[in-house]
Amino acid sequence: MPLRATTGTTNLHAFEFEEGQWEELKATYKRLGLTMPCCQRAAVPKTSPLGNYFFAHARKGPCATAPESAQHLYCKQLIAQAAHAAGWTVTTERPGACPTGEAWIADVFCERGRAQVAFEVQMSPQPHAETLRRQRRYRDSGVRGAWFHAPMKSGIAPLTDKETPVFSLEDFEVGVPPRVKGFPLALPEFVEALLGKRLTYEVPEYTRTLHVGYLLGECWTCKRQLKHVCGMLDSAEQPWWYHPLTAASLSQTLAGVQAALSSSELAGLGLNRIEQYEINLGRRSKAPTSNICLHCNAPQPNEYVTEKLRAALGAPGELKNPPARVSSLLGAAVLTRTERGAGRWKLHDAAAVPSGHLAA
């Protein structure tokens, strides 16, 4: 159910009509030769049972454009009216094409100066891959796309990011503007905020400090000095506090280090990198995750490393309490890195508009 029909080269937008004007159009449209935007066949102005104005095919024909729900029509109307009120030139059901010729039709297309924004209302579930595909067509066409999805039955929030802004509508009935999930705004105010550059996508950053315990020793093969990685520590204070003392537990512990730090991060700390070394002395190893010598790339058998570790820690009984003698062979390397958390859209007050906004 389009909100737009054409007469000659002029667009008629149902969402711009007042009640009296719409009744007048209904009485006079036959003289105007209105056509549908989808197939250029004859169009008729109609009013939905819920009071929304739209255009329909004058008679059933071969047009394959899928029928829209009343909710879809209503949301398009709200978006179009809000964008129009915000000073944008609005065209609904607007066809366009990528430079490669791929065609698209935007539910609500808004232009102001060089900025072009397409709003899409998705009342039926759409796989995210399809949203990404359609968003890519807009991007290739120099159009910023934004998506409003009906609430998902699962309650799961749709995937959204800076490249592909997707927002969820709360349950609604035609006649009462839906609220946008997670924001204190209904759809019209939200569209105004989007177009007014008052929504930014923010990814929190934080600093994380990692402590990697090591044992000073020499390579099993080349005999050069190196730091055998022994496990992650809570702090750099007590590098003797916990260490795996069997080959199997060292392998397991090293797998944890491998998951936490990249090979280049380990190299940056002057430590061995960690790799899986499945075959040891011709047999399948039960403790495959190993230190790899940073000088000669030889895998260090976990049996060898744990033997040295036991010697550095002293007698097993001493482990129950912090040992009186802390071996100078044990140490902790400290890595500080910046990590990024989950991003989210943030609404800003009308007064403060930062850069990096949606309609950039």
Q: Which residues in this chain contact Zn ion in the complex, by CB under 5 A?
A: 36, 38-39, 63, 65, 219, 221-222, 293, 295-296, 298
Find the distance separating the first CA and the last CA of the chain, reported in whole Å. 31
Q: Closer to Zn ion at the Cβ: 221 or 246?
A: 221
Q: Closer to Zn ion at the Cβ: 148 or 214?
A: 214
Burial of 140 (0-12, 13-18, 19+ CB in 10 A): middle
- Distance in Å, CB of 31 to Zn ion, minimum: 21
Q: Closer to Zn ion at the Cβ: 220 or 240?
A: 220
Dihedral of the CA atoms 30, 36, 40, 44 (nearest 10)? -20
Q: Closer to Zn ion at the Cβ: 295 or 348?
A: 295
Q: Closer to Zn ion at the Cβ: 40 or 235?
A: 40
- Distance in Å, CB of 119 to Zn ion, minimum: 21
- Distance in Å, CB of 148 to Zn ion, minimum: 23
- Give the long-range contacts of residues 260-268, CB within 8 A, separation 24 or more: 260/210, 260/232, 261/210, 261/212, 261/335, 265/335, 265/337, 266/212, 266/229, 267/294, 268/335
* Spatial separation of the C-alpha atoms in residues 226 and 292, rounded to whole Å: 10
Q: Closer to Zn ion at the Cβ: 36 or 333?
A: 36
Burial code of 249-267, b = ≥16 C-beta within 10 A, e = fewer?
ebbebbeebbeebeeebbe
- The first and second tokens of residue 307, run together, are 């033997």
- Distance in Å, CB of 60 to Zn ion, minimum: 10
Q: Closer to Zn ion at the Cβ: 73 or 293?
A: 293
Q: Classify residue 249 as left (phi > 0), alpha (psi -120 to 50) or beta.
A: alpha
- Distance in Å, CB of 291 to Zn ion, minimum: 10
Q: Closer to Zn ion at the Cβ: 108 or 187?
A: 108
* Spatial separation of the C-alpha atoms in residues 185 and 199, rounded to whole Å: 12
- Distance in Å, CB of 37 to Zn ion, minimum: 8
Residues 6+ apart with CB under 8 A from 51: 175
* Spatial separation of the C-alpha atoms in residues 261 and 87, rounded to whole Å: 51
- Distance in Å, CB of 66 to Zn ion, minimum: 10
